[in-house]
């Protein structure tokens, strides 16, 4: 939704109309198929196995069409509800995303993802609540993997760096001060993500703007990770590391958290 403005509302109307029209056509085809199946079933007593096979085939296709119609109905409702939420400024409803599992589409919140990895999911959900899209989050996660392995208490660089992003020297001190001033624990995901977002907006506006506007694609995930490495983490050999982490973001993390 972040790619559209209020003036683009007509795009959603067109998409909803097209989806509904397609759904109606599929439903009509399904009705014709069921009529044919019924006639074949009536004649199966006389024509034997051939009709039985046809009836069975129509039954299988009918189930697939039913699933397809249901999915398109979900898409249509999602477009309508999300577009309306966008117009009305309903930020909670705007967090709804389409997900697919086993060929079935469902609508859920962008902030209740559960992949089985509690720490990564916690980070993802908190960043999603801050308004970052999946590509941006994948870029951040890829860097955290390389920096800390998602250990919020790990100390590196001979005792000078700490946490998910391996905040170094004064940045580590700033993490502690920020958390102390905001009644947060600097050793937790909550404290570190809150500080991360504050630090981005206040001290790294260029990185922040890139991540808030990056395309929600695999390439966007790569670019977000690269920007984060080069201008936020700033490790040794940062440009090569940026490419490495960009590839991690666009492959493994986009496959898990991309939509």
Domain membership flag for residue 195: yes
Least confident of 57-71, 174-188, 192-206, 230-244: 57-71
Residue with tokens 């995303």: 97
Domain membership flag for residue 244: yes
CA angle 225, 207, 195 (to 5 degrees): 95
Last residue of a domain, one of 78, 109, 140: 109
pLDDT at 113: 66
Full residue range of the structural domain in which residue 50 is found: 6-109
Could you tell me the pLDDT band of residue 171, with boundaries at 50, 70 and 90?
A: very high
Residue 231 confidence (pLDDT) above 70 = yes
Q: Are 124 and 105 in a shared domain?
A: no
Q: Are 86 and 126 in a shared domain?
A: no
pTM for this prediction: 0.59
Tokens describing residue 248: 């991690």
pLDDT at 101: 45
pLDDT in tens, 107-136: 555 555 667 788 999 999 899 888 899 999
DSSP annotation string for 133-200:
-HHHHHHHHHHHHHHHTT-TT-EETTTTEETTTTEETHHHHHHHHHHHHTT--TTSHHHHHHHHHHHH
Q: Are 89 and 135 in a shared domain?
A: no
- Nearest to 225, CA basis, from 250, 200, 193: 250
Domain membership flag for residue 1: no
Position with higher pLDDT, 124 vs 34: 124
């Amino acid at each position: 939704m972040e790619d559209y403005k209020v003036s683009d509302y007509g795009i959603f109307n067109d998409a909803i109309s097209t989806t509904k029209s397609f759904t109606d056509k599929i439903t009509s085809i399904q009705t014709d198929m069921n009529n044919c199946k019924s006639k074949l079933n009536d004649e199966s007593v006389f024509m034997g196995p051939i009709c039985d096979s046809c009836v069975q085939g129509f039954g299988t296709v009918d189930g697939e069409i039913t699933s397809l119609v249901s999915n398109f109905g979900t898409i249509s409702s999602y477009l309508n509800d999300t577009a309306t939420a966008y117009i009305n400024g309903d930020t909670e409803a705007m967090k709804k995303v389409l997900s697919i599992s086993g060929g079935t589409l469902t609508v859920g919140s962008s902030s209740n993802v559960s992949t089985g990895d509690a720490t990564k999911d916690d980070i993802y959900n908190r960043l999603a609540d801050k308004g970052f899209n999946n590509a941006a989050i994948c870029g951040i996660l890829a860097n955290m993997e390389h920096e800390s392995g998602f250990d919020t208490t790990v100390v590196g660089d001979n005792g000078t760096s700490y946490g998910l992003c391996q905040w170094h020297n004064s940045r580590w001190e700033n993490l502690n001060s920020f958390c102390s001033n905001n009644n947060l624990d600097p050793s937790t995901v909550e404290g570190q993500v809150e500080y991360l977002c504050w630090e981005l907006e206040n001290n790294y506006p260029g990185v922040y703007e890139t991540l808030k506007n990056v395309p929600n694609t695999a390439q966007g995930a790569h670019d977000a990770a690269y920007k984060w490495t080069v201008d936020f983490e700033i490790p040794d050999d940062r440009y090569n590391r940026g490419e490495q982490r960009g590839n991690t973001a666009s492959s493994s993390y986009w496959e898990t958290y991309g939509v």
